[in-house]
Amino acid sequence: MIEGVTVRQAGAGDAVRGVLPRWVALPETVEEIAAVLRACAERDLAVVPAGGGTKLHWGPPPERCDVLLDLCCMNEILEHAAGDLVVRAQAGVTMDALAGTLADKGQELALDVPFSEGTTVGGTLATALPGPRSFRYGTARDLLIGITVVLPDGTIARSGGKVVKNVAGYDLGKLFTGSYGTLGVIAEATFRLHPLPADRRWVVAGLDRAEAAPAAAALAASQTEPSAIEVDWPDPAGPLTLAVLVEGTTAEARAAALRELTGGAVTRERPSWWGLIEGDEVLAEARFLPADAGAVLDEVAATGLALRGSLAAGRVLLTPCRDLAEDELAAAVARLRERARVHVLAAPYDGLDRWGQVSGLPLMRRVKERFDPGRRMSPGRFVGGI
Amino acid sequence: MDTLVAALRSFLPGDSVITDPVRLRTYECDGLTYHRATPGVVVLPGTAEQVARVVRLCNEHGVPFVARGSGTGLSGGALPREDGVLIVTSKMRAILEIDLPNRRAVVEPGVTNLAITEAVRDRGYYYAPDPSSQQVCSIGGNVAENSGGAHCLKYGFTVNHVEACEIVTPDGDLVTLDRMDPGYDLLGAFIGSEGTLGIATRITVRLCRAPEAVTTVLAAFESIEQGGQAVSAIIGAGIVPAAIEMMDALAIEAAEAAVACSYPEGAGAVLIVELDGPAEEVARQFARLQEICANAFELRVAADPAERAAIWKGRKSAFAAVGRISPAYIVQDGVVPRTSLPAVLAAIDRLSAQHGIRVANVFHAGDGNLHPLVLFDDEEPGAGERAEVVSGAILDLCIEHGGSITGEHGVGVDKSRYMPKMFSADDLDTMQLVRCAFDPRGLANPGKVFPTPRLCGEVPGVRKGVHPLVESGKAEQF
């Protein structure tokens, strides 16, 4: 159908939130992505890009979806310049494969991913969900230094480059990071890397609800440079677990110092829940100022939601810890919005206000209109129905 | 312009609208004095609402506007327009809020970079990005340029330290862009857009906890090659120092002449390495650093803040110091992958010899950001032109090695002509989509960053009719 590009008929398993595409395209190069998008533009076909598909059921259903652009075959690590602490990879490379290659040279991309398997570079960027170590290293947008994207009309565009320090031109990487496939297709990405830490320790402590926010604040204010400060609260009727990660040659000594603040134990073992999303049929993210963490916990206690994330960074993920009807979820979200920005990442309900107030929305609509005037890229899947 | 000035005077105090030709000339250039233009009118608004009103008036009159902070930029980003309004933020210099529990501060755009750190230092916090001009440069200018500094190797740039900005859009609307909001990262796109996407009127910055320990080391090497090898070895050892700076013999000579920084005599290169973090970690890294720098002929360690300041003095004064050894000079700003540094420095040497133009090298070695100072005598016929050639050829070298034409000074007017060498027409057209979304009328700092941009009405690459692949029978309609 398009020369050189593998295209197959879609099957039931290819549906995006119940919307069945007609075809699945499997491009292997940036040029092939461009050819597919050009062909779709000619025919006014709507496209949803997909990486490993681990988060494809997040967000509202697309208004329409004719072609699922499966980037699984874009799976090459193009360049690992170890001496420059930089890697360039195609969008379909899995984060696991990337980590393996980088580890061979004693390096890592300091982005935590919430699923153990299948998550790709492109999907990680498109959803831009912060993980535990964003507390120290920043989020995807902070570690991305160059990007190649394909616009809905097939134009291939690059910005940034392969040097960390670079202020030439607009940073399209920032714009595409967290854009949920609504502006175009992320084809390749270049990241800054970090040396693998020589050693790691976690300090793990059980706390009551009232103790958690002050403990997180004390840890954040310490000079021991923790890499992450996370809590896990599987049941709001019970206690929380607080875990702090310390990385570096002197991790053991620094972890011991942090234990003075929290109690608990120092361990080499990553906590089993660390940075993971275990159920995401319903999933919400709350962002708040760290000083409001105590108030957020108080609100969550009344909702029937389990909480996991960072009180120190002011971002947590929420999932139901019991069956929660649509109206109960809506009420819980509305209540939490008094204290935090809450957006519902995933829910099988269509009536829900997923995003809440977004102050820059009119500008976002204008950006969408310029990049995707035909509304053919993942239409309706992002803020304000963009 | 006259009706516009009258409208400006209707809501701005008398001393906040400048039309006197002599006073206007005060604003004719920023830190890049090579480009000059007398602004049509200068306004000094005191509030965000006033900025918005000025911008709305510019829209009504179809007049371009340029924002300016302290005017320390080195790429002509704040070069005024003779047919436009220069909006100077120097009256907006209040620190509105210090919020240590949330590790943030809210400031107006005219606040200087260093003033933020000074406001929180005694409580153990600081604002990390530290451009060399930090005593005078404004935070609004830092946001426009995405300023870096010596310590961005470990801590990143302005964009990594700004949580939110209230901006006046090119239409004159007040909008808040906040990292906490879901949606497109417009804040990330705005920072570093050099005033072409609007004007920041209120900035929320992140404050960092002061490190427990700081160790600053000055290592003197016989040659620049040895210095370069040490840099690679430090990175190879898995150490991420807060800063790694290098100066060559000519730059050292200039610094000595200007500030008598007493760097070790006879050095072909000095390296300044600053380690910071938890005390145990810094001590361990310092031990490793000593091994790596075993071939340095002198290794000086700052024992206290005064000695640290002494080490930094030579480096921070390097640009100005060059005036002591050369009547005129061009400050260049380019980036190469760190591993290309030796090859690029050798090539710069060859360029220097070939054109009879001296080049002093000062650079952020850790991230490959070069600041070659191209020296010439402006009295000597043709010398300025030769210096321009060398300076431009250095940028070509950066592009050839996969680097960038600017690491922190910005594109401004100075480098817009190099953008097509680094980016394709499609890349630039795509960036232009962002510009058109924010500023469809092209009134915000026009003529900067992009060479002859397409008008927002023009759509690049519109194709009509049958797709070529279909026409040639290589694809079918589906």
Q: What is the ipTM of this complex?
A: 0.97
Per-residue HEC secondary structure of B263-330 comes to CCCCCCEEEEEEEEECHHHHHHHHHHHHHHCCCCCEEEECCCHHHHHHHHHHHHCHHHHHHHCCCEEE
B338 CB within 8 Å of a chain A CB? yes
Strand partners, B270: B220, B247
Question: Which pLDDT value is given to residue B459?
Answer: 54
Of the pLDDT bands very low, low, confident and very high (cuts 50, 70, 90), residue A115 is confident
Instruction: Pick from A139, A164, A179, A383 the residue to mutate for testing the B interface (most B CBs within 10 Å).
Output: A164
- Residue of A330, A331, A337 lying closest to A286 (CA atoms): A337
CB contact under 8 A, B408 and A3: no
For A37-80, write each residue's pLDDT tens digit.
Answer: 999 999 999 999 999 999 999 999 999 999 999 999 999 999 99
CB contact under 8 A, B435 and A168: no
Residue B332 has pLDDT above 50, yes or no: yes
Residue B458 has pLDDT above 80, yes or no: no
CB contact under 8 A, B189 and A159: no
CB contact under 8 A, A1 and B476: yes
Residue B476 has pLDDT above 50, yes or no: no
CB contact under 8 A, B182 and A358: yes
B315 CB within 8 Å of a chain A CB? no
CB contact under 8 A, A155 and B186: no
The CATH class for the domain spanning A77-195 reads alpha beta
Q: Which residue of chain B is at minimal alpha-carbon distance from A152?
A: B430
Nearest to B183 among A194, A288, A360 (CB): A360
CB contact under 8 A, B175 and A364: no
For B279-302, write each residue's pLDDT tens digit.
Answer: 999 999 999 999 999 999 999 999
Q: Which residue of chain A is at minimal alpha-carbon distance from B427?
A: A157
Nearest to B185 among A174, A314, A362 (CB): A174
Q: How many helices (H) and strands (E) does chain A have?
A: 11, 19
CB contact under 8 A, B434 and A170: yes
For A152-172, write each residue's pLDDT tens digit.
Answer: 999 999 999 999 999 999 999
- Please say whether the structural domain A200-346 has been given the CATH code 3.10.450: no
For B144-193, write each residue's pLDDT tens digit.
Answer: 999 998 899 999 999 999 999 999 999 999 999 999 999 999 999 999 99
Question: Which pLDDT value is given to residue A117?
Answer: 85
pTM of the shown model: 0.95
The boundaries of every CATH 3.30.465.10 domain in chain A are 77-195
Question: Which pLDDT value is given to residue B321?
Answer: 86
User: What is the rounded CA–CA span in Å between residue B283 and residue A360?
Assistant: 46
- Residue of B330, B424, B445, B397 lying closest to B84 (CA atoms): B445
CA angle B321, B324, B328 (to 5 degrees): 95
State how far residue B469 is from chain A, nearest Cα, in angstroms: 8
State how far residue B253 is from chain A, nearest Cα, in angstroms: 27
- Please say whether the structural domain A6-72+370-385 has been given the CATH code 3.30.43: yes
Of the pLDDT bands very low, low, confident and very high (cuts 50, 70, 90), residue B463 is very low
B451 CB within 8 Å of a chain A CB? no
Question: Which pLDDT value is given to residue A1?
Answer: 66
The boundaries of every CATH 3.40.462 domain in chain A are 200-346
Instruction: Pick from B397, B433, B449, B472 the residue to mutate for testing the A interface (most A CBs within 10 Å).
Output: B433
Of the pLDDT bands very low, low, confident and very high (cuts 50, 70, 90), residue B452 is confident
For A1-23, write each residue's pLDDT tens digit.
Answer: 677 899 999 999 999 999 999 99
Q: State the average pLDDT over residues B78-88.
A: 97
Residue A32 has pLDDT above 80, yes or no: yes
Question: Which pLDDT value is given to residue B246?
Answer: 96
DSSP run (H or E) holding B458: none
Do the Cβ atoms of A49 and A126 come closer than 8 Å? yes
Nearest to B449 among A169, A359, A370 (CB): A169
State how far residue B422 is from chain A, nearest Cα, in angstroms: 9
CB contact under 8 A, A166 and B368: no
Q: Which residue of chain B is at minimal alpha-carbon distance from A311?
A: B102
User: What is the rounded CA–CA span in Å between residue A381 and residue B10?
Assistant: 46
CB contact under 8 A, A38 and B367: no
Helix (H, G, I), strand (E, B), or coil: what is residue B245?
strand
Question: Which pLDDT value is given to residue B249?
Answer: 95
Cβ contacts below 8 Å, chain A against chain B, sum to 265
CB contact under 8 A, A167 and B477: no
Report chain B residues whose CB lies below 8 A from the CB of A86: 337
| Residues belonging to chain A | 386
User: What is the rounded CA–CA span in Å between residue A307 and residue A318?
Assistant: 5
User: What is the rounded CA–CA span in Å between residue B415 and residue B421?
Assistant: 10
Instruction: Find tokens 């451009």 and name the residue.
Output: B131
Instruction: Pick from A142, A166, A261 the residue to mutate for testing the B interface (most B CBs within 10 Å).
Output: A166
CB contact under 8 A, A196 and B238: yes
- Residue of A178, A150, A161 lying closest to A5 (CA atoms): A150
Nearest to A360 among B146, B175, B428 (CB): B175
Question: Which pLDDT value is given to residue B477?
Answer: 35
The boundaries of every CATH 3.30.43 domain in chain A are 6-72+370-385
For A228-264, write each residue's pLDDT tens digit.
Answer: 999 999 999 999 999 999 999 999 999 999 999 999 9
State how far residue B418 is from chain A, nearest Cα, in angstroms: 10
Question: Which pLDDT value is given to residue B468?
Answer: 46
State how far residue B218 is from chain A, nearest Cα, in angstroms: 23
